[in-house]
Amino acid sequence: MGDSTLYVEARQMLVEALKRHLIGPSEAEEIIDEHPREHYHYGYLIAQEDKALVEEDIRDEDLVDTDNDELGEDEVLPINKTRNVRTIGITFQLVPESDISIQVEWARYFMVHREGRTEPSWQREPFTFTFDVPVGHRFDQQEFNHGGMAVRVLTRPLDDWVATTVSVINRGQKKDNTSDHQSDDTAYQVKLTVIDSKRQGIFTPRIHRAAKHDNEFWRDEIRFRKIRSYAIGHGCAVDWEDDGLGVYKIYTEWLPTVEVRRASSKVLESEPALSMKRLGDLSLQSDNMQGLMRIAQAYRHWIDDLHTTVGDIVDQFPKARDQVQTAAKEILQENREVYQRFVAGIDFLGRDSVAMKAFSLANRAMALSMQQRDPLKEPRWRAFQLVFMVMTLPSAVDRSHPERNLFDLIWFPTGGGKTEAYLGLAATVIFYRRLNGQHGVAVLTRYTLRLLTVQQFERASRMICAAELVRREEPDLRQGPPILGGLFVGGQLTPNNLEDARTLLAATDAEGTTTTLPLVRCPWCGSPLDTTFQSADKYLRTRCPDTSCSFSEEIPIRVVDVDIYSQLPDMVVATIDKFARMPWEPRMAALFEAGPDLIIQDELHLIGDALGSIAALYEAVVDGLCLNKGFLPKIIGSTATTRRTGSQVDILFNRKLRQFPAGGLDMGDAFFYREDDGNPGRLYVGIHAIGRSMPHTLERTAGLLLHQVTKIENDAVRDQYWTLAVYFKALRELGGALVLMQDSVPRYMESLAKPAEPVRMIQVEELTSHVPSRTIPEILSRLSQPIVELQDEEQLERGAPVDVVLATNMISVGIDIDRLGMMIVDGQPSSVSEYIQATSRVGRRSEAAGVVVTIFNWARPRDRSIYEQFRVFHQAMYRFVEPTSLTPFSLRARERALHAVLFALARLSIPELQPYDSPYRVLEPSVHQAVIRLIDRIVDRVNDVDPEESESTRRQLEEILEKWRFIAREYGALKWTKTAYSINPALLYPVEEGINDVIGWVTMQSMRDVSPPARVRILKHQELQRGGEVNGLR
């Protein structure tokens, strides 16, 4: 099962099937029984109908455009300009006065009649045209014709090189009396190749162009210097071959493929100090400290070695030596800072006995958790996880530490183990506080998506269970309360109060198989959970049904809001949206009574644009509530895709960024991770079927893959590709796919099957926002279930196995199912970050050869641009990640949420304002002054983050306060919120109330409530006939 060869062979079989069926041919002189335009999906050039239209697909100004590396906007091209492909081309750069050899290959199909068939067949006839062309350092245009095909060579000087475009055009004439079912001059399987036949190294890499040549640009130039683009396609993809002496061949591709290697964190694997069990043994403290220092020294030697390579790297950029030198020195300095912080963390452990004991207990807990999941695997850290823990520990437990105000970000490719790194730190902080006699919320984690929250809560729950077992055995802690974990999310996922919990418990089905928890299994032993083992008397209590489980009396997790407020779990896993409830719910102040000391912001890249701008406003409340206790929390984060993150962190959290690992001088080597050459990477395949509808292309692609997988003989390999994940960037595009998968795809699969060959039945599931929250864990459980040759009735009733899962961006984070090996991306996602995250869900097992088939929307310039640069885009995807845009203190963001920020801070900070009927007390001088001080604190934050908006923000806050006081004077019985039976005015009104006839403020309860809903009325036909104007609406 661990042999990757079988997986690679299976993957190659799948790709070959796609090429054979979508583009062709199956054989050189094949005979097919249907018209080639129906038999093959794309990869052909149609015959000429109107001479004026022949070259519309490639304009002269496009052919030699080598300066533009932008991916393009996500707009739609006019259909009449793109639907019919008559020409394709490639652009590249040459050394002046070079000789190139050009080869064009194509085929035409001619109608034939075969004995025994009443319908016609079509026979393939291949053609080849080869010729040599000298290229001078001048503007020039030449054209060569053969067999109805024309090759045009266009050149122009570009700096010291010659920009050259070679295009092939089908000049064949479509006969006026030729129907689609008769022979025509369409050219199929067209391939254009340009060769440096004399092997003189004439092809030169295209220069990467960027709008902004700042320091980050030059860092990228250094790190991606080995990835070069030698050509760009026009209407097709392009690839090239290198014989070790240089690129000697450039050619077009209809079905491009690029293998993207994974990052391996297997560094210093033999180091004893990476053993969790050893680190959990205080009797080995001296040996462990020496082991940590060995890791530090190995890292220091790597930094020193990097330093010796800087000169050679600078020499590769003769026109930008100063910029490259500066960028390289900064990279080295950032690595030296990481080394120094790691050494300081080791020293801290040596000096602080409580920290050392907490670190030891955390290692014991993490070892228990890991062994519970995989008993046969030795519990060990990866080097980057341990270094991050030790490096950040001093500032996480010492509230006055100078690095407390740094935002430490783990940047690591997906699947690398970021979660374990911050869970280890969280466990250490929990034990440190317990050893110091402190209780309450120690760690707060926040996520942006409910699926991600559920998945990460499962992991956190296992760690909490392990920490609780360690606490029970530790003499200094066993007398204290249990270590608890809490899930703090919306009512769709968990009950928000005990009454709701009791209602859910009473509403079990006949078999009593439902659970009020978002977990379907015990986080410790994996036994199925159901409501039979739940009770909701004083709080919602859940027991594991397995009497041999350590948690058969009670699982140490809390999921009901009121239980979290009253019992204050040590670690609370929450959605970021939940914190929009702060002005509405005064009991949330309890979460900040004793902390938290550590806040974890996972998947940082998801907090951008509108959501990020609103979240940044509410961060002022979180920091303000913590400052009321005299300290700020330590904030760490993680992401696999980041770009210009320093600005994002500054705006969001008012903190300075420190990224870890700091990265090296090569994208494939950052010491703590290196490119994995020992295992197959993820293979990306591109489809760009101009003129075909997206649903039709999806139908054929999905049908081919689903059918072809059944031909894989090895059970383990077949299981890896059995479940097809299909990603859509929007729900509207996913909507029709469900019917497609249930109707058109099975019919197409039937057409692929040989006579008497069984056709696979398709079980389809969705992972979208439409899926009820409480069903998500069950779907994930089914996705994790391997296929079996003979499924029993129980499995079939549960709908297992899942053959196809249709998903939107919900799948891009939080899904960690290592049996998923195949994905279709239906249209390029709107951001590169989303593309990386979504496609990283497949091929996660080390030996598995994942495959991602991207179907590009030919009507969108951005999709087409990426397809035409398929190779270099995928080799350097992280370079193209877009920076996040945040404007929390812009007028629009302030109008949405600034009042909520002030009310939340006031209500949760000032005791007099917490009761439901207390807003009128703002008229009291002491309360009024306390609110003014809060305004000053908010404005101070704006001064740090966006000074230009500080004065306007202050004016708006003062206006909010004055309006609040005015309402309080006018309505003495002012309430915070309006209930169904209340006749008194309120300050806060939910968004769904709209904006009319409210005395106070329309206030969001989720950070995604960006605007009140619009009322829509469907007009009757008679109304439209009267002029289409109703109540002033046209």
Query: Could you report the per-residue pLDDT of 646-660, keeping only the tens digit for each?
Result: 999 999 999 999 999
H helical segments located in 600-730: 609-627, 645-653, 694-709, 715-722
Averaged pLDDT, 960-965: 97
Q: What is the pLDDT of residue 67?
A: 41
Amino acid (1-letter code) at residue 495 = P
- Amino acid, res. 734: L
pLDDT at 1017 over 80: no
C-alpha angle 603-608-610 in degrees, rounded to nearest 5: 140
Q: How far apart are CA 1002 and CA 1008, in angstroms?
A: 14
Please spell the DSSP secondary structure of 615-634, one letter per residue: HHHHHHHHHHHHHTTT-PPE
* Half-sphere exposure at residue 942, Cβ-oriented, CA atoms within 13 angstroms: 27
Query: What pLDDT band is residue 756 in, cutting at 50, 70 and 90?
Result: confident
- Beta carbons within 8 Å of 975's beta carbon, 6+ residues apart: 916, 917, 919, 982, 984, 985, 986, 987
> Maximum CA pair distance of the chain?
102
The residue with tokens 């990265």 is 663
Question: What average pLDDT does the segment 342-347 reach?
Answer: 98
476: helix, coil or strand?
Answer: coil
Torsion-angle region of 121 (φ positive above 0: left; ψ -120 to 50: alpha; else: beta): beta
Residue 46 has pLDDT above 90, yes or no: yes
Give the pLDDT confidence score for residue 507 in this predicted structure: 64
Q: Whole-angstrom Cα distance, residue 55 to residue 712?
A: 44
Give the residue from 435, 297, 409 showing the smallest Cα distance to 357. 435
Residue 516 confidence (pLDDT): 62
Q: Where in the chain is the domain with CATH 3.40.50.300?
A: 680-857
Cβ-contact 795, 715 below 8 angstroms: no
Q: How far apart are CA 897 and CA 1009, in angstroms?
A: 10
pLDDT-derived band of residue 263, with 50, 70 and 90 as boundaries?
Answer: confident
CA angle 809, 811, 815 (to 5 degrees): 150
Return d(Cα 351, Cα 359) in angstroms, integer: 13
Contact 903, 934 (CB under 8 A): no
Residue 66 has pLDDT above 70, yes or no: no
The stretch 824-829 carries a mean pLDDT of: 96
CA–CA separation, 553 and 482 (whole Å) = 12
The pLDDT tens digits of the residues spanning 352-379 come to 999 999 999 999 999 999 999 889 999 9
Provide mean pLDDT across the span 291-308.
97
Query: What percent of the chain is modeled with pLDDT above 70?
Result: 88
pLDDT in tens, 392-405: 999 999 999 999 99
Cβ neighbors of 768 (< 8 A, separation 6 or more) are 731, 734, 806, 807, 808, 810
How much is the pLDDT for 56?
Answer: 41
Query: Partners of 129 in the beta sheet?
Result: 104
Please give the average per-residue pLDDT across 6-33, as a whole number.
95
* pLDDT tens profile 969-983: 998 888 999 876 667
Q: What is the pLDDT of residue 1032?
A: 36
The C-alpha atoms of residue 994 and residue 972 are separated, in whole angstroms, by 24
Give me the pLDDT at residue 174, please. Answer: 64
* pLDDT at 448 > cutoff 90: no
- Give the pLDDT confidence of 227-253 residue by residue, as tens digits: 999 999 999 999 999 988 899 999 999
Q: Is the pLDDT of residue 926 over 50?
A: yes
Would you say residue 68 has pLDDT above 70?
A: no
> So what's the pLDDT on residue 364?
98
pLDDT digits (tens, 9 = 90+) for 76-89: 544 445 567 899 99
942 CB-near residues (< 8 Å, 6+ apart):
889, 949, 950, 953, 954
Looking at residue 983, its pLDDT comes to 72
Average pLDDT across the chain, whole number = 88
Q: What is the pLDDT of residue 412?
A: 84
Mean pLDDT over 565-588 rounds to 95
Give the whole-angstrom CA distance, residue 299 versus residue 388: 13
Predicted confidence (pLDDT) at residue 923 exceeds the cutoff of 70: yes
Task: Give yes or no for a contact between 550 and 524, defined as CB atoms under 8 angstroms apart.
Answer: yes
| Residue 266 clears pLDDT 90, i.e. is over it | no
Distance CA 303, CA 337 (A): 11
638 by Cβ neighbours in 10 Å (0-12 / 13-18 / 19+) ranks as buried
Cis peptide, bond prior to residue 661, ω within 30 of zero: yes
What pLDDT, on a 0 to 100 scale, did the predictor assign at position 791? 52
Instruction: Give the pLDDT confidence score for residue 815 in this predicted structure.
Output: 74
Predicted confidence (pLDDT) per residue in 454-499, tens digit: 788 888 999 999 999 999 999 999 999 999 999 998 776 677 776 7
DSSP-derived 3-state class of residue 163: strand
Q: What is the 3-state secondary structure (H, E, C) of 98-144?
A: EEEEEEEEEEEEEEECCCCCCCCEEEEEEEEEEEEEEECCCCEEEEE
The answer to whether the peptide bond before residue 801 is cis (omega within 30 degrees of 0) is yes
Taking 80 as the threshold, does the pLDDT of residue 1020 lie above it?
no
Query: Which of the four pLDDT bands, split at 50, 70 and 90, describes residue 511?
Result: very low
Instruction: In whole angstroms, give the CA distance from residue 51 to residue 171.
Output: 9
Tokens representing residue 925 in the block: 């001088």
Residue 216: predicted pLDDT: 87
Q: CA 657 to CA 216: how far, in whole Å?
A: 15
Q: Nearest Cα to 862, choosing from 64, 75, 68, 210?
A: 75
The runs of H, that is alpha helices, within 254-320 are 276-279, 285-315
Contact 122, 183 (CB under 8 A): yes
If pLDDT is split at 50, 70 and 90, which confidence band does 223 have?
very high
Supply the DSSP symbol for 1033: B
Number of residues that this document lists for the chain: 1034
> Which helix (DSSP H) or strand (DSSP E) does residue 12 occupy?
helix 4-22
Could you give the angle at which helices 694-709 and 731-742 cross, rounded to 10 degrees?
Answer: 50
CA dihedral 694, 695, 698, 702 (to 10 degrees): 180
Q: When comparing pLDDT for 786 and 104, which is higher?
A: 104
CATH number of 680-857: 3.40.50.300
What digits encode the pLDDT tens for the residues 664-702? 999 989 999 998 888 999 999 999 999 999 999 999 999
The DSSP-derived string for 758-822 is PPPP--EEEESTTS-GGGHHHHHHHHTSPP-SS--HHHHHTTPSP-EEEESGGGGSS---TT--E
Strands 851-855 and 682-687 come out as: parallel
SS3 597: coil
**pLDDT per position as a tens digit, 857-876:** 999 999 999 999 999 999 99
The kind and range of the H/E element at 151 are: strand 149-158
> Does the pLDDT of residue 509 top 80, yes or no?
no
